Structure 1
């Protein structure tokens, strides 16, 4: 008798396709938490005007309130990345995300400005693992050839959060109050947490990185992980990357997430819903932008020039908005800047090609930290400058936008002038 054929090997989960794939359901649940993170970081554009009316906030206080989210978010990036390695995606998100729910509740019932700032910081801490969790989950549990498609799906779902903070949030605030906006987002955040609790079951324990700089499967401690960041900082081109990262994404979020609403309302007396419509249009172009620049990526040699040129153009657009103040310019340029901001996606390709594969994850964590701490700095600084300008009889928005333009130009110039890595260099010793 001929030998019996062995049973066919089970299809690995990462190779499954179709909407019945349980891994896909898990990713959608994680992407819902990511969408709430996107909503919380951009609600300031619609919240700013009613908060000024409710609490009599100065522009400096408004910038501090908005930056508190990004400060909490940015400071926790490296810690959350390590937690994903040590404890897995499910545990990390389930432990962190309740802080976002609690922070939203604190903001919704805040008796004063201090509680608002504390609530924003708690929301930022709670949302800190949201983006990393999706990326790590896709990398671990989906086949390599599906990484781009699944990442695109997660990004598309997350875009719904930014869409909500346009016209829908403006309508909710006008119909009820700004507190209702926080209540709604806090309630949806709780549902997202329940979805992660119900659906996400990691198919296998997180595998230790075999190709990291420690050279083995042992998971590093927090102290060791931070220590292993030091060689990255010693590389000459890292400083240019951090200077660029600190201002590029910050400019988009500072406009879309903080000053867009006050600009349209205070300069041009548009209603909150009309301002929300402009924010919605800017969000849509901001969703299209990364895909466009991903397709137009000029490659390693010309990528740095593209990045610097796009940041320089962005600085010019902010200067035009600062110095003109015409209604259609203040509508069209933010929508166009949403598309232009897609150049931020080139940073990740640049980082990937600038460091050895063994430390790419740490380099991206460092990039994310710089990006979100840069948002916190830019939002706080523009608020402080706007308050000073008002005291001097200068239009606050003009001063705020000129500050953004100057920071963007300085970051682009620093990036262009500092050494750049043409190939992935060898790492210096810790």
Structure 2
């Protein structure tokens, strides 16, 4: 059942990284500025992130299977609309629909894992699920580049619409979820109670540090892999579309193995937050190197290193799981995922603004983009380090193990 759910997540991964390959075609057809391109990429993430709390409530009240089956058709409709779009505005609407349809894609996986696997296996199983789901990013490397080069960006959206429909059928066929039994005398939670449960998370001081880091880390990786990698290689170094697709494929491929590797080496609550801070600062340094680089090999190497290091982000899910009571796990995951994808939307928009500003000043836009990402990552790491930590992380008890 988990593999069936991961198929939907894989398509979500594909949709969120298409901009890196489709950017050149969209710019040519619709005359997009770098800022408009950033808005295009951000539209998916904004719709995805804005609906996370709604998806968390839906999963709590109606279950994993029904939530995904009811919402995912929006992604199919959005991809189909994008393939036929006569204007930039319609493509943008398609991105919003795709983001809304994919909103429960990874959340259903994390909730399923939290409910069906022991706490000490959560990081490892989540890492494996993230790695398998990352196969969707492989399609938006060389394979999608070949499709787009041969038949245009509209065909790319059409192929993704067909694959999404197949994923929906797999979930319908394979996922069966028994009704959750409630203790005697306990009434089913109402929507209002669920909303109040989410609000309670904001009163916990350690929530804010978790959210600050969530806004930055995955956003940095996706801003590179999902938006700027292709344009950077094509415009800075003269790569062809297919050649840039090869690099995107390689970055995606190495990123598949990181989550499971880092998940297996989760040091537990006592040291996990130190790891998260340190790896985030290393990630920021890689973006500084790309900002200063003038050599193709250095940009490609740094992008691959970002792909390898991105696996540490699975530890953020473990940090969330260990920071809240079991009854709040689903909602905390939903809030974390919401922050993560709103961060993606904001970073893609902000980097688009930075690129447009640099171009207007006669500066190289990609240097401004990479320095902006590095600055935001550093701010996230400092906020995570300086804001209150969860009690368990502040005072780990004897025998404590990873969550």
TM-score by length of 1: 0.86
Distance 1:103 1:52 in 2: 20
- Contact 2:21 2:140 (8 Å CA) reproduced: yes
| 2:351 corresponds to | 382
Match of 1:49 among 10, 13, 24: 24
Given that residues 300 and 422 in structure 1 are in contact (C-alpha distance below 8 angstroms), is that contact kept between their aligned partners in structure 2? no
On the 8 A contact 2:285/2:374 being kept in 1, the answer is yes
Return closer, same or farther for 1:355/1:194 CA change in 2, 3 Å cut-off: closer
CA distance in 1, matches of 2:114, 2:323: 20
| Structure 2 counterpart of 1:163, from 117, 126, 138 | 138
Are the structure 2 counterparts of residues 343 and 221 from structure 1 closer, same or farther at C-alpha, using a change threshold of 3 Å? same
Structure 2: any 5+ residue segments left out of the alignment?
395-403
What is the match of residue 406 of structure 1?
375
Q: Deviations over 1:198-253 (max 9, x none)?
A: 33333x21345x6xxxx984333333222222332122221111111100111011
Q: Is the 8 A contact 1:79 1:222 kept in 2?
A: no
Distance in 2 (CA, whole Å) between partners of 1:376 and 1:73 is: 9
Between the two structures, name the one with larger relative contact order (CA 8 Å, sep ≥ 6): 2
1:69 to 37, 44, 47: 44
1:37 to 12, 18, 21: 12
Deviates more, 1:326-335 or 1:341-350: 341-350
Check whether the contact 1:67–1:380 (CA below 8 A) recurs between aligned residues. yes
- Is 1:206 aligned to residue 175 of structure 2? no
Corresponding residue of 2:85: 110
Residue 225 (structure 1) aligned with residue 200 (structure 2): no
Matched, 1:96 2:96: no
Asked if 2 retains the 8 angstrom alpha-carbon contact of 1:85 and 1:219, the reply is: no
Structure 1 CA distance for aligned equivalents of residues 272 and 166 of structure 2 = 41
**CA separation in 1, counterparts of 2:295 and 2:390?**
42
Which residue in the other structure is 1:5 paired with? none
Q: Which structure has the larger Rg over C-alpha atoms?
A: 1
Q: In the TM superposition, what whole-angstrom CA distance separates every residue of 1:250-299 from its partner, at most 9, and x where no partner exists?
A: 10111010000001111111111111111111112211111222233233
Corresponding residue SS for 1:161: helix
1:268 aligned partner: 237
Superposed displacement of residue 151, structure 1: 4.7
**Equivalent in 288, 291, 316 of residue 347 of structure 1:** 316
The structural deviation recorded for 1:152 is: 5.5
Deviation at 1:52, TM superposition (A): 1.0
SS state of the match for residue 86, structure 2?
coil
Determine the C-alpha separation between the residues in 1 that align with 2:340 and 2:192: 22
How many aligned residue pairs are there? 394
Q: Distance in 2 between matches of 1:149 and 1:347?
A: 13
Alignment of 1:315-354 (within 5 A): 315-354=284-323
